[in-house]
Amino acid sequence: MKNLLILSIKAAGLALTLLPAFLVFTGHLAFDTNKKLMLLGFILWFGPAFFKPRR
């Protein structure tokens, strides 16, 4: 369960890194908001790296 949660958080991190850029491209999201979402994506992707997954 914990592993699944970590995996979901990391997947959300990657999604927040890439997907908002497409919304900026289509004009549905502000350029600066994208930067904030990318920062959140960075935290979500690297944050779980500090927790060791259960084997």
Partner 1 sequence: MYAGEHTAGTEFVIGPLFVAHGVTAIDLIGGLFFGNVLAVLSWAFLTGPIAVRERITLYFKLEKICGKNLTLVYNLVNALMFCFLAGSMISVSATAVGIPFNLPMAKLTDWLPTSFSWVITVFAVGAVTTVVATLGYNQVSKVANIAAPWMILVFLAAAIAVLPELGVTRVSDFWEVANAKIWTGTPLEGQSKFTFWHVLFFAWFCNMAMHIGMADMSVLRYAKSWKSGFTSAGGMFVGHYFAWLASGILYAVFLQKSQSSLEFAPGPIAYYAAGFAGAACVIIAGWTTANPTIYRAGLAVQAVLPNSKTWKVTLIVGLVTTLAACFPALVMRLLDFVALYGLLLMPMGAIIFIDFWVFPKLGIQSNLAELRQWKWNWTAALTWFLTLGVCVFINQRFGVEIFFLGLPGWFVAVFIYLGSNLIFQKKHA
Residues at the interface with partner 1 (CB under 8 A): 13-14, 17-18, 20-22, 24-25, 27, 31-32, 34-36, 38-39, 41-42, 45-46, 49
Beta carbon nearer to partner 1, 32 or 54? 32
Beta carbon nearer to partner 1, 5 or 39? 39
Beta carbon nearer to partner 1, 5 or 22? 22
| Angle formed at CA 52 by CA 13 and CA 49, multiple of 5 degrees | 30
Cα–Cα distances in angstroms (integers) from residue 47 to residues 4, 31, 53, in the given order? 15, 24, 13
| Angle formed at CA 10 by CA 42 and CA 17, multiple of 5 degrees | 40
